[in-house]
């Protein structure tokens, strides 16, 4: 009965996303909300009363221990349905090992010291696990690509954890199956420690979605686990739950989290948590809707990376962005600088700009270079990214004082030139251009141009003006976000529309 109900419930969610992805995200009318709330109350209430009878079961597996479905694992408002995890045999978790000796052909290892000893695993190297989430699989491109990129910059044991038999089930079941795989990973780490003398501090688990909570379970069972990275940890059944159930700073010595889909599941179908659950919590683009995810259906599915990647993005674009940013950050740490801030409005308005000395960590792979003060956790960081690969961006504050022959309607743009090339033109202001006024805007440029040498100003409007107005920037100040450095540029001449004015360093 219960399973039947849930089975109908889960495809229901998926279908509705297909129908209504964009309208849902962009606007919600007032009639809309009560209907959804009612629906939620109905379903949860219904399930709630069906629950009580089956509570209190337990299942034990060899070497992994016992798993009960008592509180807080079920019977709470967040997790109404009791459900026991499947056996390790049924889940059939595979551990796919890549090292520098075999970067292209993987080896399969298991929780068996002899199998590990016979593989290319070496205890002197760091070990990084990557695990996927709901409905995904471990031999998916993104896990392999991430392994290969990490191997290109460091010598590690990279283990992709595949648990597709356990993830392709009802959500409730998958959300409980992760406890078994977490226990298996913890058991494997204990083998690393006892048979090969690898310290758990040199082990890192990267988990996407449900995989983030899977990593948390492994971390809870492993004292002094080095690091857990949660890539958009799953929201349903975890948000608001006690720390035992979900990812939490206590699960490892260092926990960093990237939030990319943090709107509520109902009604926005956001799959990720908004709650801060790590030492460092990054909210790129505000953490709710990612640029490049609002494309029309055909453009989204017929993706540059193929139809399969496009279909994945069509279903859960925001949710999947988390591992794309993470993969990008491996080779390019500086392009993902996070600014400490309390929310996206403050970040956009410039209150959190620029960085104080060493207060900004890099989002993603290199976030562990940041010194976390002992006892401090759930620090929130904001940054913006691009809408397609490469996602890296560099933030500047541009302050422009303009002068001209008369007030006119139009827009103006500024391009930055440095010793390392130049950026595109970024629109600073659109509307009335009044001589003598100063305009200010924060921009995220696509290129690291290093020390600025000059800037260019250009203005234009869409209407013909027979009075032939001229404008020029008298003063442009550019402040670099990462180190607060100010670059000042001066200009004297005025230019006609659509003509570039070059401003050089003030004398």
Q: Which residues bind other proteins (CB under 8 A)?
A: 1, 4-5, 8, 12, 16, 19-20, 22-24, 26-29, 31-32, 35-36, 38-39, 42-43, 46, 267, 292, 294-296, 298-299, 302, 304, 387-388, 413, 415, 417, 421-425, 456, 458, 460, 498-500, 502
Minimum distance from CB of 389 to other proteins (Å)? Answer: 10
Secondary structure of residue 134 in the 3-state scheme: coil
- Comparing CB distances to other proteins, the nearer of 9 and 61 is 9
Helix/strand/coil percent split, the chain, to 5? 35, 25, 40
Active site residue 4: no
Active site residue 208: no
Please give the helix or strand (H or E) that residue 254 lies within, else none.
strand 254-258
Structure tokens at 328: 């990008």
- Comparing CB distances to other proteins, the nearer of 12 and 308 is 12
> 96 pairs with which residues across the strands?
108, 160
Encode burial over 314-327: b for 16+ CB neighbours within 10 A, e otherwise.
Answer: bbbbbbbbbbbbbb
Secondary structure of residue 56 in the 3-state scheme: coil
> 107 pairs with which residues across the strands?
97
The answer to whether the beta carbons of residues 406 and 435 sit under 8 Å apart is yes
- Comparing CB distances to other proteins, the nearer of 242 and 421 is 421
Catalytically annotated residue among 169, 202, 209, 289: 209
Phi, psi angle pair for 52, to nearest 5°: -30, -45
Catalytically annotated residue among 69, 162, 232, 313: 232
- Comparing CB distances to other proteins, the nearer of 339 and 412 is 412
> Where do we find the tokens 């270079």?
369
- Comparing CB distances to other proteins, the nearer of 20 and 59 is 20
Minimum distance from CB of 390 to other proteins (Å)? Answer: 13
Structure tokens at 427: 């629109």
Catalytically annotated residue among 208, 279, 319, 429: 319
The C-alpha atoms of residue 120 and residue 101 are separated, in whole angstroms, by 7
- Comparing CB distances to other proteins, the nearer of 275 and 318 is 318
> Where do we find the tokens 């409005």?
345
The C-alpha atoms of residue 247 and residue 420 are separated, in whole angstroms, by 41
Minimum distance from CB of 241 to other proteins (Å)? Answer: 24
- Comparing CB distances to other proteins, the nearer of 177 and 423 is 423
- Comparing CB distances to other proteins, the nearer of 163 and 459 is 459
Minimum distance from CB of 320 to other proteins (Å)? Answer: 15
The answer to whether the beta carbons of residues 213 and 233 sit under 8 Å apart is yes
Active site residue 209: yes
Ramachandran region of residue 151, left (φ > 0), alpha (ψ -120 to 50) or beta?
alpha
Minimum distance from CB of 27 to other proteins (Å)? Answer: 5
Structure tokens at 295: 């494309």
| DSSP annotation string for 378-445 | -EEEEE---SSSS---EEEEEEEEEEESS-EEEEEEEEEEETTEE---EEEEEEEE-TT-EEEEEEEE
Minimum distance from CB of 122 to other proteins (Å)? Answer: 41
Minimum distance from CB of 495 to other proteins (Å)? Answer: 8
- Comparing CB distances to other proteins, the nearer of 181 and 317 is 317
| C-alpha of 428 from chain center | 28
Residues 6+ apart with CB under 8 A from 345: none
Around Cβ 177, how many Cβ atoms within 10 Å?
Answer: 27
The C-alpha atoms of residue 388 and residue 395 are separated, in whole angstroms, by 17
Asked whether the bond before 293 is cis by omega within 30 degrees of 0, the reply is: no
Dihedral (C-alpha) 45, 57, 209, 365: value to the nearest 10 degrees? 140
| C-alpha of 38 from chain center | 31
Structure tokens at 300: 């989204």
The residues annotated as belonging to the active site are 209, 232, 319
């Amino acid at each position: 009965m219960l399973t039947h109900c849930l089975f109908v419930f889960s495809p229901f969610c998926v279908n509705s996303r297909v129908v209504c992805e964009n309208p849902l995200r962009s606007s919600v009318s007032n009639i809309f909300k009560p209907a959804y709330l009612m629906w939620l109350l109905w379903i949860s209430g219904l399930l709630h009363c069906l629950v009580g009878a089956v509570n209190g079961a337990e299942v034990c597996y060899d070497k992994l221990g016992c798993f009960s479905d008592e509180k807080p694992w079920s019977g709470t408002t967040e997790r109404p349905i009791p459900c026991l995890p499947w056996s390790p045999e049924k889940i059939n978790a595979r551990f796919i090992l890549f090292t520098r000796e075999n970067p292209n052909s993987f080896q399969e290892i298991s929780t068996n010291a002899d199998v590990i000893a016979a593989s290319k695993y070496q205890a002197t190297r760091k070990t990084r696990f990557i695990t996927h989430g709901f409905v995904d699989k471990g031999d998916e491109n993104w896990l392999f690509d991430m392994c290969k990129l990490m191997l290109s910059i460091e010598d590690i044991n990279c283990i992709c954890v595949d648990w597709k038999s356990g993830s392709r089930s009802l959500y409730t079941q998958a959300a409980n199956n992760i406890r078994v795989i977490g226990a298996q990973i913890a058991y494997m780490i204990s083998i690393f420690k006892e048979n090969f003398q690898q310290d758990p501090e040199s082990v890192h688990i990267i988990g996407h979605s449900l995989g983030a909570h899977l990593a948390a379970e492994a971390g809870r069972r492993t004292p002094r686990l080095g690091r857990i990275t949660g890539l958009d940890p799953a929201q349903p059944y975890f948000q608001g739950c006690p720390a035992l159930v979900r990812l939490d700073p206590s699960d490892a010595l260092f926990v960093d989290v990237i939030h990319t889909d943090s709107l509520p599941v109902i009604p926005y179908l956001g799959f990720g948590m908004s709650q801060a659950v790590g030492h460092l919590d990054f909210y790129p683009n505000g953490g709710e809707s990612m640029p490049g995810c609002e494309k029309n259906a055909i453009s989204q599915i017929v993706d540059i990376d193929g139809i399969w990647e496009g279909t994945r993005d069509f279903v859960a674009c925001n949710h999947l962005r988390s591992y794309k940013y993470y993969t990008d950050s491996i080779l390019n740490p500086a392009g993902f600088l996070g600014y400490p801030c309390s929310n996206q409005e403050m970040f956009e308005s410039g209150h959190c700009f620029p960085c104080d000395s060493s207060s900004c960590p890099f989002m993603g792979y290199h976030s562990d270079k940041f010194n976390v003060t002992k006892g401090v956790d759930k620090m929130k960081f904001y940054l913006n990214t691009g809408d397609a690969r490469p996602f890296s961006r560099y933030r500047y504050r541009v302050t422009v004082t303009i002068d001209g022959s008369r007030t006119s309607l139009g827009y103006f743009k500024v391009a930055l030139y440095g010793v390392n090339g130049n950026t595109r033109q970024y629109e600073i202001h659109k509307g009335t251009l009044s001589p003598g006024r100063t305009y200010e805007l924060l921009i995220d440029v696509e290129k690291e141009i290093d020390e600025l040498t000059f800037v260019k100003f250009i203005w234009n409007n869409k209407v013909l003006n027979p009075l032939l107005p001229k404008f020029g920037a008298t003063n442009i100040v550019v402040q670099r976000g990462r180190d607060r450095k100010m670059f000042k540029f001066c200009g004297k001449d005025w230019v006609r529309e659509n003509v570039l004015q070059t401003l050089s360093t003030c004398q």
